[in-house]
Chains A and B, each alone.
Chain A
Amino acid sequence: MNKLKFKGIYRYFFNCLSILSAAFFTVLSIYGFKNELIIQSSFINFSFKFDALSLFFVIFISSISIFISIFSIKYGEKYDKKPSLFIYSFFFIMSMIILAISNDMLTFLIFWELMSIFSFLLVIYEGGEESRKAGFLYFLMTHIGTILITAGFIMLYLKTSSFSFDSYKGAAGIMILAAAITGFSIKAGIMPFHTWLPYAHPVAPANISAIMSGIMVNMAIYGILKFLFVFSSVPAPFLGIILLVLGALSALLGIMYAMAQKDIKKLLAFSTIENMGIIFMGIGISYWAKAENFKSIEYFAMLAVLLHIINHGLSKSSLFMGSGLIDKYTHTRNMEKLGGLSKKMRQLSVLFLIGIMSISAMPPLNGFLSEWYLYISLIGSVFTGNLYMVYFSIIAIALLSLSGAAAGAAFTKLFGITFLGKPRTVHAENAIEPNIIERIGIAIPVFLCIYIGIYPYQIISNLNAVIFYLTGGTVNSNPFSAVHIISARPFSLYAPALIAIALAAVLLIVFFYLKLFSSDKKRIFETWACGLDEKNSKAQYSGGGFSSSIMKVFSSFYSSVSEINFEKDVKKYFRSQSVYTEEINDIFEKYIYIPAEKLYLKISEIFNKAVNSENINVSLGYLFLSLIVCFIIYIFIIR
């Protein structure tokens, strides 16, 4: 008993340390120094600076990690046996916060690498075949990304011969941007570089998935914003269009794959890809508008990006925490084995419902607000009449609306199958209401979702500083003034406060009208099942069945294989059992990654046979040869 208590100490200590240091950094960023801080050591100088963008990201990271740390004070109980989780997650959070304020290339890369390594350690934390595989894939992909980012930075260094971010302003050419953005997109999980994300996010413990999905992928967005809006020198409108198209594709395919999943956390991971796609669309439009000099579109798209970062962070972290609680109290993440949790976990289900409404962009919550600003900037870019942009923004509107509806379907499936209906297995029957601290950890971001959804004007006027830093302009945060997108004429207005008041008022009127003029009698009875008194809870609709009709229409997106096995020689309707298996493949994985892997293995085998030998002289010869090649590259290309 004594020993167990001692083990809990790591949990309390490191979670409280995370909370305190996150709070410290928030206070520091708001009231602290505005000048550059340089810490000198014997061989490397660390340089930090708070600008508007770092300020935004520091507050964002710290607040969400505070909620998650509050949550893991209790949730972490089951990991007490291996307390390295808490140590790693503390360093993980810290490396992200310091990453956001670092002001030179080496500091940035060091903390970027630390973030990657600690997240890798957390992905493989639970051990086992699955998490090792996911961890390896994550490690590989994230380092390919880091190589590209480093290449971008090296090119910047060669151009400016300085390590400091201050001298990079307006220095990055198109090659540098392309390399860095590709590298960052791998971290953000943008299609077609997303393959690691749906494996790595579900295998980590839920509080870590919440950090990875709510915060870490946004660090890639931080890098992209820094490169595109601060470092970039040439206006390259086509780059914006490429980002828009990639984002739209990720948004659609991400949510389409999310719909096909059974695992709750895997569904949420695919939904992260969708939301990153939406953020990319905003960045693409904003950058394009900057290059083509359409000021107000640029500001609105940037507002959509920043708002969506916040909204996605809040709702996704709360949903991942909720899925962790489901896992903790039912011991399964497979939604086909759950059901009826709403009766057992009443408060959690309310919180989860609001998180789901927020992430599937239901008005008047915050998810809709950022999507609305994105729609407005898309319509604005149609108004510009620029040939390419009109073309691509119409496609983007179509894909965005399709993915919006599909998100509704996917999350109805998640909530309906998991929380509603009858319990499908014993796992679900034995669920209990989670601990109060765990519920508080989820409740704070959920309340913030409602607050930002209904009264966003405060946060928009604060975000104006960031928008000013990135684009040089601001948007109007007055609640009742319409947005102007291209001409001087007011275009449209979505006043969330007004809509929320209208909803509440009408709801109250309807409620009291019915209270007065209708019967209040209630009877509890069984669900009607065509007169049968069958108690089989498996007779409910399954998650696979729910999404199968949509998947059938969009079958070209999935290369799914399904198979029904049953005993032969038995009459058709009297089979004792039949087994249905379905396998949903990612088209990118099936047609790009797996063939690429096979090709790589084949080539390396040929290479191995051709050049490898056991003789040490030959190996030394190769070493000498590669040294000469390096010299040649240095002398003739770099110098």
Chain B
Amino acid sequence: MNYNIGHLIFGIIQFFTIILLAPFFAGFIHKLKQRARGQKGINIFQFYINFNKLLKKEIVLSKDATFISEIAPYIVFVSYLVILLMLPAFYRYSLLGVSSDVILIAYSLALATFFMTLYAMDQGSAFGGLGASREWFLTVLSEPSLIFIFISLAIYTKQGRITDIFYFIQKGAANAFLLGVNSDAVSIAIPFLLFISLFIVGISENARIPVDNPETHLELTMFHEANILEASGKHLGLFEYGSYLKLTVFLTVMSLILFPYMAVNIYQIPLALIVYILKMIILCILIAGVEIVSPKMRVFRVPNLLSVSFMLSLIAMILSIRGF
């Protein structure tokens, strides 16, 4: 891939667009859930207002807090930002596309988890330890399926970089469905299985309802919220924004598996952006739907759900080995 200044500019535009859209998607899901329950619901842009307000508030640090409390919010936020730098959403050439290896993305997610759980344990609060323990419990179970999903994509397309992977699927799909040329065998089963698998992992990693319920403050239901219970001010703002970014990362990958369409040149960008937002809204509706119809699960039932996801990604991986 040869990069020129145009790729750089549109890569930057893509990066900031996703960052700016992230709280909107989270707010949209929240609004949908509340409307479905018959509540009036928040403003769709409420999370932007919250973030702005949190920045203006003072930070309350614990007496027992160490340097971890000062740096962890930044590192968690920044590791999601770096993933967004690699991820193509509606433009093929993301800024860090040259080094956007799928395993690197999976491990960068683990880096964020690592620092968030250290933050949780920093203040010596029993809630923090509980949250950290449960967060790792989920991560240990969902990491294999996440890596399997990414590696089956890599094996399916024979590409290791996430930009190339989705460009390959996009080209293959366009050839097959628009021109009728089935040059590189296009599979429907593999993306479908991977989508379901990634949906389950996404729900568990993003603290969504069958696994976790971040709206309550009851310790029985807390995963994500227990980790950041002590955070306040801009630290809380960074953690909250980080969770929107994480949700957006998962939704974007899902949207690309579902319907890969990325702009290759400048003229396609407006259409690609519209398609991207439409796809994301559909996915948001899907997630809100799942959250509305399902009750919160017992903690030790979650492994069953995640093993379903692992099995699906294993099947997808076996399907994607087609003889080389």
Contacts and interface: CB of A to CB of B under 8 A. Distances in A.
Contacts of A483: 160
B113 interface: yes
A491 B144 CA distance: 22
B123 A527 contact: yes
Contacts of A566: none
A612 B42 CA distance: 89
A398 B104 contact: no
Contact of B114 (A360, A379, A528, A549): A360
Contacts of B130: 541, 545
B141 to A, nearest CB: 7
Given A401-B143, A498-B99, A350 B67 contact: yes
A408 B324 contact: no
Interface stretch (A235-243, A410-418, A574-582): A410-418
A382 to B, nearest CB: 6
B132 A519 contact: no
B159 interface: yes
Interface in A317-373: 339-340, 342-343, 346, 349-350, 353, 357, 360-363, 368, 371-372
A531 interface: no
- Chain A CB within 10 Å — which of B120, B154, B299 has the most? B154
B151 A525 contact: no
B277 interface: no
B129 A540 contact: yes
Nearest to A412: B117
Contacts of B123: 421, 527
Interface residues of A, number: 87
B285 interface: no
B234 A382 contact: no
A594 interface: no
Contact of B324 (A376, A394, A486): A486
A598 interface: no
Given A519-B233, A522-B61, A527-B64, A408 B81 contact: no
A226 to B, nearest CB: 31
Interface in B27-80: 55-64, 66-68, 74-75, 77-79
B141 A494 contact: no
Given A503-B78, A549-B134, A421 B121 contact: yes
Given A405-B143, A506-B78, A390 B321 contact: yes
B62 A541 contact: no
A404 interface: yes
A514 B70 CA distance: 13
Interface in B182-236: 229-230, 233-234
A523 interface: yes
Interface in B254-298: none
A357 to B, nearest CB: 7
Nearest to B130: A541
B8 interface: no
Contacts of B240: none
Given A415-B118, A510-B81, A375 B323 contact: no
- Chain B CB within 10 Å — which of A420, A517, A518, A548 has the most? A420
B99 A494 contact: yes
Contact of B317 (A394, A421, A495): A394
A548 B134 CA distance: 10
Contacts of A371: 107
Interface in B118-166: 118, 120-126, 128-130, 132-134, 136-137, 139-141, 143-144, 146-148, 151, 154-155, 158-161
A518 B54 CA distance: 8
A492 B161 contact: yes
A412 B132 contact: yes
A500 to B, nearest CB: 10
Interface string A543-554: 001111110110
A376 B160 contact: yes
B283 to A, nearest CB: 25
B251 interface: no
Contacts, number: 257
Contacts of B237: 518
B274 to A, nearest CB: 28
B177 interface: no
Contacts of A487: 158, 324
Given A385-B323, A417-B121, A498-B99, A541 B113 contact: no
Interface residues of B, number: 84
A282 B293 CA distance: 46
B144 A402 contact: yes
A350 B159 CA distance: 38
A486 B96 CA distance: 24
A550 B321 contact: no
A511 interface: yes
B175 interface: no
B230 A420 contact: no
Nearest to A363: B107
B160 A499 contact: no
B300 A518 contact: no
A506 B82 contact: yes
A521 B121 CA distance: 23
Nearest to A518: B55
B151 A549 contact: no
A493 B233 CA distance: 38
A4 interface: no
- Chain B CB within 10 Å — which of A383, A492, A503, A545 has the most? A492
B108 interface: yes
Contacts of B81: 506, 510
A486 B159 CA distance: 11
Contacts of A421: 64, 121-124, 129
A382 B85 CA distance: 29
A540 B64 CA distance: 12
B139 A540 contact: no
Given A342-B68, A385-B321, A420-B124, A526 B62 contact: yes
Contact of B118 (A420, A498, A541, A553): A420
B103 A522 contact: no
Contacts of B59: 521-523
B324 A495 contact: no
B124 A422 contact: yes
A458 interface: no
A529 interface: yes
A540 B321 contact: no
Contacts of A363: 104, 107-108, 111
B74 A491 contact: no
A583 to B, nearest CB: 21
A376 B154 CA distance: 10
B176 interface: no
A345 to B, nearest CB: 10
- Chain B CB within 10 Å — which of A363, A519, A524 has the most? A363
A397 interface: yes
Contacts of A248: none
Interface in A254-288: none
A537 interface: yes
B324 A384 contact: yes
Contact of B55 (A376, A422, A493, A519): A519
Contacts of B66: 342-343, 346, 349, 419-420
A630 interface: no
Interface of B: 55-64, 66-68, 74-75, 77-79, 81-82, 85, 95-96, 98-99, 101-104, 106-108, 110-111, 113-114, 117-118, 120-126, 128-130, 132-134, 136-137, 139-141, 143-144, 146-148, 151, 154-155, 158-161, 229-230, 233-234, 237-238, 299-300, 303, 310, 314, 317-318, 321, 323-324
Given A498-B99, A510-B238, 9 more contacts: A353-B68, A398-B310, A420-B124, A499-B82, A503-B78, A519-B233, A525-B62, A526-B63, A553-B141
11 contacts: A339-B124, A379-B155, A382-B155, A408-B110, A422-B64, A483-B160, A503-B78, A519-B55, A541-B121, A541-B132, A549-B137
The 5 closest A-B pairs by CB, nearest first: A541-B129, A492-B160, A421-B124, A416-B121, A521-B58
